Structure 1
Amino acid sequence: MKHGKKYNEAAKLVDRATLYDTEEAIGLVKKTATAKFDETIELHIRTGCDGRHAEQQIRGAVVLPHGTGKKVRILVFAKGAKLDEANAAGADFVGGDELVPKIQNEGWLDFDVVVATPDMMGVVGRLGKILGPKGLMPNPKAGTVTMDVAKAIEDIKAGKVEYRLDKTNIVHVPLGKASFEQEQLKENFRAVIDAIIKAKPSAVKGAYLKSVTITSTMGPGIKLNTAKLMA
């Protein structure tokens, strides 16, 4: 894969053979984020899980102490008094059955997170083929299927991020923006790592965190010392 000049310059700062400490890796990722926009800092964790087995799945959510630095658009599926509750709590879009054709037929996807009350999951289920592959399907483990929609909205606006295994058993989580202070990124990083370690399925044998890489949107990957993270 051919990279641009900026990427190549940034890549020279990173020793691919080194497993960095958290502090050093975060300092480096800020240095290598040289794009003209405020890059997102991302964490990629390759696990020893086998997601084909239900007992080795990982899925949950964690509130980043300093948020993601991104405005999150929330869609809430609800009815009755819960519609008013969602509106009052600051949801960007609120509705029920009438949203299904808008998403199915018009391809409307101007939202980042979907929250639903349990009694609306029959309706949301009809959108599974569209929302599922995009990671937008509400899930009780992530706190996005709940009767307490106000709390769900508050948590998401405060910086709650979802984590789950992808098909290659890797977890991808945003940690914030390159413009964040080093200490803010470090605290967000720790919150995510602690949550992932806590979520370790008992069925996993061998190394749980196979590799942990931090990167910016346009920058090179920086590998961390996993042994120190588990200590």
Structure 2
Amino acid sequence: MKHGKKYQDSAKLFDSLKLYDTAEAIELCTKTAKAKFDETVEVHVRLGVDSRHADQQVRGAVVLPNGTGKKVRVLVFAKGDNIAAAQNAGAEYVGGEDLMHKIQSEGWMDFDVVIATPDMMGVVGRLGKVLGPRGLMPNPKAGTVTPDVARAVTEAKAGKIEYRLDKTNIIHCPIGKASFGCEKLQENFDTLMSAIVKAKPAAAKGQYVKSCVVATTMGPGVKINPARFANA
């Protein structure tokens, strides 16, 4: 893959083979943000687990202390008193079968997070093939299936992100924007990694955090020394 001049210039800022400590890696990462827009800083963590086994799944959610810098559009499936609770908490869209049909028939996807009360999962379940592949299916582990929709909406708006393994045993998560600066990005990074480390499955053997890389949307990845997570 041929990279552009900005990418190549950014790659010269650091040693691509070196393992950096977190603070230095994040500082170098922010220096690679050369696009005309405020680039997102992402973390990519490869874990020493096998996601094909149910007892080695790593999944959960965490509220980043400084948010993600992204405006989050929330869709809530609810009924009764929960409709007003979700609306008062700031949800953009609240409904039931009407929204389910809108997604099914119109391919409507103008939302970033889906939250549902347990009594609405019969309706939401019919959207599994649409929401599942996009990582939008409500899940109790992520706190997106809950009777307390107001809290779930507030947390989503505040910067709650979900982390989960992909098929190659890697977790990909945003930790903010390049404009946040190193201190805020470091706080978000530490919060995310603490949650991932705590979520280590009992069945996981050997080194848990195999590799960890931070990168901006358009920039090269800076490697973080995984040894700091060795006690996980």
1:163, CA displacement in angstroms? 0.3
Cα distance in 2 for partners of 1:188, 1:229 equals 16
Match of 2:155 in 1: 155
Q: Deviations over 1:46-81 (max 9, x none)?
A: 011101100000110011010000000000000011
Match of 1:104 in 2: 104
Show structure 2 runs of 5+ residues with no match: none
Match of 1:214 in 2: 214
Cα distance in 2 for partners of 1:157, 1:113 equals 9
Q: Is the 8 A contact 1:43 1:174 kept in 2?
A: yes
What is the identity, as a one-letter code, of the residue corresponding to 1:30?
T
Q: Is the 8 A contact 2:208 2:230 kept in 1?
A: no
Q: Deviations over 1:74-107 (max 9, x none)?
A: 0000001101110111001000011112111111
Match of 1:35 in 2: 35
Cα distance in 2 for partners of 1:116, 1:213 equals 33
What is the identity, as a one-letter code, of the residue corresponding to 1:157?
K
Query: What percent of counterpart residues are identical?
Result: 67
Q: Is the 8 A contact 2:207 2:230 kept in 1?
A: no
Alignment size in residue pairs: 231
Match of 1:173 in 2: 173
Q: Is the 8 A contact 2:197 2:229 kept in 1?
A: no
Q: Is the 8 A contact 1:197 1:230 kept in 2?
A: no
What is the identity, as a one-letter code, of the residue corresponding to 2:91?
A
- Pair 1:17-2:9 in alignment: no
Cα distance in 2 for partners of 1:120, 1:196 equals 29
- 1:104-143 to structure 2, matched below 5 A, reads 104-143=104-143
Match of 1:203 in 2: 203
1:151, CA displacement in angstroms? 0.5
1:230, CA displacement in angstroms? 3.5
Cα distance in 1 for partners of 2:64, 2:21 equals 20
- 1:65-104 to structure 2, matched below 5 A, reads 65-104=65-104
Q: Once superposed, what is the RMSD of the aligned Cα atoms?
A: 0.7
Post-superposition, which runs of at least 4 consecutive aligned residues in structure 1 deviate over 6 A? none
Q: Is the 8 A contact 1:30 1:178 kept in 2?
A: yes
1:125, CA displacement in angstroms? 0.4
TM (norm. structure 2) is 0.98
Cα distance in 2 for partners of 1:140, 1:230 equals 29
1:179, CA displacement in angstroms? 0.2
TM (norm. structure 1) is 0.99
Q: Deviations over 1:151-200 (max 9, x none)?
A: 00111111110000011110011000000021100000000010000000
What is the identity, as a one-letter code, of the residue corresponding to 1:206?
G
Q: Is the 8 A contact 2:115 2:149 kept in 1?
A: yes
Q: Deviations over 1:119-140 (max 9, x none)?
A: 0001000000000000000000
What is the identity, as a one-letter code, of the residue corresponding to 2:224?
L
